[in-house]
Amino acid sequence: MHTLSHLKESLNQKEQALIQYVRYMREAQDSKNTEIAALFADLAKAEEKHIAVIRDQIVQLAESDELLNKYQRVNEYNSQHSTYSLH
């Protein structure tokens, strides 16, 4: 499912952005630039919210995908073990 892989890639990008924002925030704190540190702290919080939403979507899609896979396996089994015969 393409959507699931896109969400996973987005999640990875958001996690990397979060790491960068925290790093920049700490650098700003170390240089006593509280205004910029607060800006990066806000950006980090926003990324955390985005990450939570994306993770929820990934779980929902993975569960849906698993249900579809089970249905597909049952269908394949039934079609392979069909009692119908062509005469």
9 part of a folded domain: no
Predicted local distance difference test score (pLDDT) of residue 62:
84
- Residue given tokens 């995908």 in the structure block: 65
Q: Is residue 8 part of a domain?
A: no
* 2 assigned to some structural domain: no
Structural domain total, the chain: 1
Q: What is the pLDDT of residue 1?
A: 56
Q: Is residue 82 part of a domain?
A: no
pLDDT per residue as tens digits for the range 26-51 = 999 999 999 999 999 999 999 999 99
Q: Quick check: is 23 in a domain? A: yes
What residues in the chain have per-residue pLDDT under 70? 1, 67-87
Host domain of residue 50: 15-69
Q: Contact at 8 Å (CB) between 4 and 65?
A: yes
